Chains A and B, each alone.
Chain A
Amino acid sequence: MNTSTTAQTSQPDSIDFRSVVNHVATSLVPFAEEYVNTSQLDDAIAGLKRLNCGVFRLVVMGEIKKGKSSFINAFLSEPELLPTDSDIATSIVFKILYGPKKQFKVFFFDDGETGQPVAPLVVQPDQLMDYGTEKGNPNNEKRVDFIAVELPNPLLQSGLVIVDTPGVGGLFKAHRDITWRFAPNADAILFVVDSVESVMSADEIAFLRDLTEKFAVKLLFVQTKIDAASEELWRGWEDRNKTILKSELGLTDDRIVYFPVSASTKNFADEEFDLEELEDSGYPPLMRFVAQTLLPSKERFLAAKAAVDWARIASKVSHEMDIRLSLASETTSGKIQEIETQRREAISKFNDWELNIFKPLVASTNETVGKISRDSLDELESLLQPSGNLLADFVSAYRGFTADEMQENLKMIQQDFMERCAEASKEVFDKFSSGFENAVGQAQKALNVKATGDVSGSGSSHSRDIQFRKVTTLDLSSTSVFESTRNIAFAGVAGYYLSSMVISAIFPPVGALSLVAAAFGLYGASETGRVMAENRNAQAFTKLRGILADQLSQVRRSVVRDFEDRADKCSKGLNGLFEAATSQMRADLQRDLDDAKAAAGRTHAESQEVVAKLRAEMMLVGKHLTELRRAFPTMKA
């Protein structure tokens, strides 16, 4: 089979990334509990959990009747699993995941009237049609959210979840929305085209363009039903489709992962254990790709992220052990006394610093942030004021239009206006987030300047220097911290914030507003003969402005609410960060002092023992750190 998988050089997986990270993490946990503050440890453990549960959502999408469900069935060697038909079939999202026995579970939306959750229902295979297809459940009158299919299939055991979606482009327009809703949850999208109906259409390209603009998601292409076309034709279509993807979506050759397959042929091959048919079905390269490149790529990514966390923990642990070790190596009680005194001073210095420098800085940063958010809020409110310029400027463009034209294009005008609002609000949001970033950056700089002094240890009298604790080591130094704060606040809204979230989540649907228009009586006034045209146009214009103003105040309410939420999260996130940083420092200083007290009470032999134990532990941690670095060579030191 001629596929472009060769371009996806899958690196040989001699290293099992997941088990490396797991092994290191398990041995580090007892030390981390002693030396690292809990929130950092919790984060690292959560990352580990994500890695270990290893879910990979492969979402299958495409236009109606391309053969999506059949493709999945053949992939899993279960020809009867999902309902397929030559008429519109799938009308609900199906999630297929690993389970000890085959089982279909229907999940429902909350009850429409009472708002109560509805318990999921286990159904028999022959009942699937009644819940998951347009025939059995027209217009989703049964209010099904999705259907979970559990299957004891080894292909799914590694955490692969395959999602089947309704086809887009048919006469049931709601299906597109159901499918679309699922895009953000995808780790990869497998887009199905066929070898029977046509090469890729403008509608398919528009759909894909929308998809890739909003979600940075991996795309795979499957051209199915190759059994139903001559080889000349399906290869011709494959080439043409790739050309289209290149010219229309700007994909490069190496980013086009494309598999021609036949579900029918795969089913025959399974039935008859016929290897020749299996090759002809085109499935083997696809399955190899999924197992060897696609799934491991996510695992590698998650493992690398976890590795960074644990490497950081390992460094911290060995650093702390080193401090301990140098104390334990001191032999004279005078020296130990001296260290104890120094450490007491360090604590009081730290307290001073916290009180006189840090706290005021936090307060002023908070104040700045507060001001920025109040300003932005004001700006938003006045921007979206129905009496403001936004509306006036927008609506003035329609002054010359006739009533009929306005009426005809109302929906479009409203949509335009919505986008205009979204754009304008986005500017404010953007301004806020850069202002926020700035304020935090200022705080960081101030800390570096004002707190150059050491908090602990003079270091002068030691042969093996205790490393100093400087306030600048407060974990505010890396820019990634700010990013993470912003992420808390904006939840990764950066690029697609405007188009997808604002419009769909915050802004009310246009359909609802058209009703407003109807109520205003813009529709159906046919007494044109009597009413003077200009008068009517002017009236219509006024009404248009009224409708848009109404729309705007709805928008304003929800945008402002949304902004308040986000700003609140930002400042909470920032304070959490400050808090975490100082609490770690306080804990470290306290431990230093306790150590010194303990050392004062030890006999020589006991000290020897402590030193030996620490040395051994440090070796071990060092070994783990090296192990991580070897497995993830790209990781920064």
Chain B
Amino acid sequence: MLVFDLNDVQQYVKKVCDEIPGLLGRHSITSDLVAQVTGLRADIDKPFTVAIVGQMRVGKSSLINALLEKDIAITGVTETTATVNWIHHGTDPNIARVHWRDRPPETIPRGELDKWTGDSELAANTRSIELFDDAAFLKIASIVDTPGLRSVIAAHESATESFIGINGANDKNAERCADQTQQLGLQADAIVYVIMPVARETDDQFLDAFRNATRLPGSSNYNSIAVLHKWETLNTDDLLDERDRKASKIAASLSEHLATVLPVSAPLARAVFSLNDRHWQTILELGKPDNDSIREKMLRHERAFVRELPECSVAVAERKDLLLLGVPWPSLRTIIGIAANVQGTSINELRQRVRAISQIDDLKQILEQRFFSRSRAIKMLRLTTRASQPCQLAMTRLQNETEKLKTNLNRSSNVLALLQQRIELGDTDLQSVVRHTQESQQVIESQLEKLTDTLETLGERFETLQTIHDGCDGDLAGIEAIAESQLDELPAELRDTLRYVFGQHGVSVGERMRGLHRSRNPSEAIVELVGTLRGYVDKGSPRTHHTCQHAIDRLEQLYHHIELSGQREKIAS
């Protein structure tokens, strides 16, 4: 059945997207909903899109640069990113393509982009900007840098919100966004929400709005993760423990919205590739025990760091050099702190250590595991959500209309009966009225027929979309549960099989079936597997119960699919 193979599903969604505008356009009461699905069709073939979102100054652009190991996104001291900036796979990092609001796109040298930052006129006139880099992961997913939330430059927040597809999460720019959203609409498949160590009310509001825009009620949170950033500014001695505590705390308070919260440091990661050996040597030197007594004093603040200190084995000039590298002061302080903790190592080991603490590689891995490898399922989740919302609304309206017409029909039948009586009593003038009423009745009846027809088709589409949505949601939950070791009650072999079934290693029928016993006839293998799973459904944790139940549903779909294609083959031969 088509709900199982995401290649088929994609075709199906395309078909629905082509068909629905026609269906909705048939009736005046639903024609306004057409606009909601028009952008959707083009969206299906677009690459998977991960948006980096968060409040201003939290380091979103820096984080992107750390991921790409190159300074592609523009960073700055005050509110910087002012436009929605796509980073696509490409070979020329030195150009940028500007999509204007009012004229055709234009290619410019990347170096000119700093005119598009802050409270800029150019930015106000720009819909989005494309940048290019050849990092391998961009082949699977495009990354989008967004303007910071909470800025007093109101256009920043509204640009991000309309890109994400939410209208005024904070009730501010609701109206202004509305029309933009329709054009740009809902382009992010997933977000990395960059957050400071203490969650705010506005974080909660934003994530809530994103969730409502991209997932149907009741589904899980696979399309948003958070990065805890700027944690090195925490004023504490046990920095690493504290950042982890903060991450769990945020994960707990926003658990409805976030699949995971990972502490990362962009400046630390950037330092690894941007500082040269001489710099690292200076840092190692500063971390040496000879400097223990004065290090604490030196690291209190930037001015203290470059004071003349006869006891210090590193000259002022060399210390000043370190400040010129674009590493934020708290990050530099942290790096020197790390050097002091890993005394006696080489500069390469120190680099590795800093890289490990930056957790940039963990972020890449999480992006790969959670987003890139599951991109098809996540994307389907979002597309089905977007397609079903107008369908559902249309169905409600059409149903109400049907009721109304039926009432009218009833009424006119009553009227007709009365008229007939009068005519029988000799009131022949009424013949023409009767004819008129009968004609109207026919019109209503044909209208009713059209309505019922649309309703039936819409209902069928809606139900299928919902099934696809829930299937993808269940798959994602299953993969997640296995990855999080929540299904350790099941034998390892069975878990491996389920990974395949849930589409972790590919979302076509063939790929999903690869986990089944090859030696058997597939139908039998499925029946046997279902039997095994039934054994687990009623014992074990609720998680195990849900996952096994979902696996059984999936396998049943698979079974039907195989049987169906078997029959088709038979018929064909």
Contacts and interface: CB of A to CB of B under 8 A. Distances in A.
Given A228-B235, A529-B399, A533-B400, A171 B201 contact: yes
A197 B56 CA distance: 9
B202 A203 contact: yes
Contact of A237 (B78, B148, B154, B329): B78
A280 B297 CA distance: 13
B197 A532 contact: no
B152 A532 contact: no
Interface stretch (B99-107, B176-184, B298-306): B298-306
B459 to A, nearest CB: 12
A231 B324 CA distance: 12
Contacts of B28: none
Nearest to B236: A86
Contacts of A88: 198
Contacts of B328: 229-230, 233
A8 B202 CA distance: 36
A228 B231 CA distance: 12
Contact of B404 (A64, A65, A231, A534): A534
B152 A265 contact: no
A86 B198 contact: yes
A226 interface: yes
Interface string B400-425: 11011001000000000000000000
B150 A203 contact: yes
B200 interface: yes
Interface string A527-541: 011101110000000
Interface in A171-223: 171, 173, 196-203, 205
Interface string B275-316: 000000000000000000000000011111000000000000
Contacts of B204: 171
Interface string B183-205: 00000000000001111111010
A231 B77 CA distance: 11
Interface in B43-66: 55-58
A207 to B, nearest CB: 12
Nearest to A231: B302
A491 to B, nearest CB: 33
Given A87-B249, A196-B233, A528-B400, A202 B157 contact: yes
Given A86-B242, A229-B330, A200 B152 contact: yes
Contacts of B233: 196, 225, 228
A203 B154 CA distance: 11
A229 B301 CA distance: 8
Nearest to A172: B201
Contacts of B404: 532-534
B253 interface: yes
A248 interface: yes
B77 A236 contact: yes
Q: Which of B56, B57, B235, B323 is packed against the most chain A CB atoms within 10 Å?
A: B235
Nearest to A279: B303
B15 interface: no
B94 to A, nearest CB: 27
Interface in B456-475: none
Contacts of B397: 533
B198 A87 contact: yes
B150 A264 contact: no
Interface residues of A, number: 45
Nearest to A205: B152
B382 interface: no
Contacts of B150: 198, 201-203
A199 B79 contact: yes
Nearest to B246: A86
Nearest to B156: A202
B152 A196 contact: no
B565 interface: no
Given A229-B330, A233-B329, A197 B78 contact: no
A154 interface: no
Contact of B154 (A202, A231, A265): A202
Given A231-B302, A233-B329, A532-B403, A240 B78 contact: yes
Interface in A219-271: 225-233, 236-237, 240, 244, 248, 262, 264-265, 268
A152 interface: no
A244 B151 CA distance: 10
A228 B328 CA distance: 9
Given A86-B197, A227-B300, A532-B400, A169 B202 contact: yes
Given A86-B235, A198-B55, A232 B77 contact: yes
A495 interface: no
The residue in B57, B77, B304 that gathers the most chain A C-beta atoms within 10 A of its C-beta is B77
A561 B41 CA distance: 61
A170 interface: yes
Contacts of B407: 532
Interface in A153-169: 169
A236 B78 contact: yes
B56 A198 contact: yes
Interface in A453-490: none
B57, B78, B197, B401: residue with the most chain A Cβ atoms closer than 10 Å: B78
Interface string A60-102: 0001110000000000000000000011100000000000000
B304 A280 contact: yes
A533 B394 CA distance: 13
A206 to B, nearest CB: 9
B201 A233 contact: no
A169 B151 contact: no
B300 to A, nearest CB: 6
A265 B77 CA distance: 23
A280 B301 contact: yes
A266 to B, nearest CB: 11
Contacts of A268: 300
Contact of A201 (B152, B300, B329): B152
A530 B198 contact: no
Contact of B201 (A87, A169, A225): A169
Contact of B152 (A86, A248, A277): A248
A622 to B, nearest CB: 58
A229 B57 CA distance: 13
A87 B323 CA distance: 30
Contacts of A227: 300-302
B396 interface: yes
Interface string B413-443: 0000000000000000000000000000000
Nearest to A281: B301
Contacts of B564: none
Interface in A264-290: 264-265, 268, 277, 280
B151 A228 contact: no
B172 interface: yes
A482 B403 CA distance: 68
Contacts of B379: none
Contacts of B236: 86
Given A87-B249, A202-B157, A237-B78, A231 B55 contact: no
Given A64-B200, A203-B202, A226 B57 contact: no
B158 to A, nearest CB: 11
Nearest to A229: B329
A183 B384 CA distance: 49
A197 B399 contact: no
Nearest to B231: A86
11 contacts: A169-B200, A170-B200, A171-B199, A197-B57, A198-B56, A201-B56, A201-B151, A226-B301, A230-B329, A268-B300, A532-B404
Given A197-B196, A203-B150, A533-B404, 20 more contacts: A65-B197, A169-B200, A169-B202, A170-B198, A170-B200, A170-B201, A171-B253, A199-B56, A201-B152, A205-B152, A228-B330, A231-B302, A231-B303, A237-B78, A240-B79, A280-B304, A528-B400, A529-B396, A532-B404, A533-B400
